[in-house]
Amino acid sequence: MSTAKVDRRVDHSHHFSSMDAEHEAGKQGVWLFMATEIMMFGGLFAGYFIYRFKFHDMYIAGGDSLDWKLGALNTLVLLFSSFTMAQAVTETMKGNNKKALKLVIITTLCALVFLVVKYFEYTAKIHHGLFPGFDLWNPDMDYISSKIRDVSILENTSPANLRLFYVLYFAMTGLHGIHILIGIGLMVWIMKRLKNNEFSPKYYTAVEGVGLYWHIVDIIWIFLFPLMYLI
């Protein structure tokens, strides 16, 4: 049905009774989708804990072999990007589309920095034979033992268990990385809309939704960082 295009800055879609109602519905939809994200990562976290309890020593070895400094750098980058994203939402609510645009650009740059750091981490691990797939798994044990706190834990466990650590490391941070990529896509989309001045103090659902998404991606990393790199 050729419903006339609605100017969302001042009006609501046909099936809602008011702009507020439409905004609330949109927000609730995003929250529910966030619940699915949490359940999806929840499966991986459950797997992480099960294997961690089963193969405790090897998980410590695995965690030590990661570069916590790079992890910490990425944590700071993401935390800062969450801050700029939150600012962008506030500015959109105030009607400053131009200012919000700049903040979203900064957020996107942070996301790119995160991915670049991750790229260097991944290539280093693959170089040392720590990618658990194809024929790439060929762990450089000298590299591992040079990294870990207490070399004696390597004596009575098998490298197969170390492999399970790296399976979950790559699966979880990889899936998280895909979410960062999707986030960049979403931010490009709202950048375009901010540039066209499509939002108003009464209509900013898309910016707020992307903001919520970005925060959840950030929060997942905040759990991943200590579980993978620190403990």
Partner 1 sequence: MSATDTHSHGGNYINCEKGLWSWLSTIDHKRIALMYFVSIMFFFLVGGLFAVLLRLELLTPEPLFMTGDMYNRAMTLHGSIMVFMVIVPGVPALLGNFALPIMIGAKDVAFPKLNLASWYCLMVGAIIAFLSLFWGGVDTGWTFYTPYSGRSADAVTMVVLGAFVMGFSSILTGVNFIVTVHKLRAPGMTMMRMPLFVWSLYATAIIQVIATPVLGITLLLLVFERVFGIGIFDASMGGDPVLFQHFFWFYSHPAVYIMIIPAMGIVSEVIATFSQKTIFGYKAIAFSSLAISAISFLVWGHHMFVSGQSALAGSIFSVLTMLVGVPTAIKLFNWVATMYRGNITLTTPMLYAINFLALFTIGGVTGLFLAAFNIDVHLHDTYFVVAHFHYTMLGGALMGFFAGLFYWFPKMTGRMYNEFQGKISAIMTFVGFNLTFIPQFIMGSQGMPRRYHTYDGIFTPFHVTSTVGSWIVASGFIFAIFIMARDMFKGKKCEEANPWGATTLEWTIPSPPIHENFKEIPTVTGRPYEYR
Task: Give the interface with partner 1 as residue ranges (CB under 8 A).
Answer: 1-4, 6-7, 11, 13-17, 21, 24-26, 28-29, 32-33, 35-37, 39-44, 46-47, 50-51, 54-55, 132-134, 158, 160-161, 163-164, 167-168, 170-171, 175
* Closest approach of partner 1 to the CB of residue 106, in Å: 30
Q: Which is nearer to partner 1, 26 or 95 (CB)?
A: 26
Q: Judged by CB, which is closer to partner 1: 21, or 76?
A: 21
Smallest distance, partner 1 to C-beta of residue 13, A: 8
CB of 186 to partner 1, least distance (A): 15
Compare residues 24 and 150 and give the one whose CB is closer to partner 1.
24
Q: For residues 60 and 53, what is the distance between their CA atoms, to the nearest angstrom?
A: 11
Judged by beta carbon, residue 32 or residue 231, the one nearer partner 1 is: 32
Partners of 203 in the β-ladder: 200
Ramachandran bin of 199, using left for φ above 0, alpha for ψ from -120 to 50, beta for the remaining angles: beta
Strand partners, 200: 203
Distance from C-alpha of 153 to C-alpha of 138, rounded to nearest angstrom: 19
Q: Least distance in Å: CB of 183 to partner 1? A: 18
Which of residues 38 and 72 has its CB atom nearest to partner 1 in the complex?
A: 38
Q: Which is nearer to partner 1, 15 or 69 (CB)?
A: 15
Residue partners of 164: CB distance under 8 A and separation at least 6: 51, 55, 58, 132
- Beta carbon of residue 171, minimum distance to partner 1 (angstroms, whole number): 6
Residue 15, CA atoms < 13 Å, CB-side half-sphere: 2
Residues 6+ apart with CB under 8 A from 204: 89, 92, 93
Q: Which residue pairs from 127-134 have beta carbons closer than 8 angstroms and sit at least 24 positions apart in sequence?
A: 130/65, 130/166, 131/166, 131/170, 132/163, 132/164, 132/166, 132/167, 132/170, 133/170
Q: Are 156 and 130 in contact (CB under 8 A)?
A: no
Compute the least distance from the CB of residue 51 to partner 1, in Å: 8
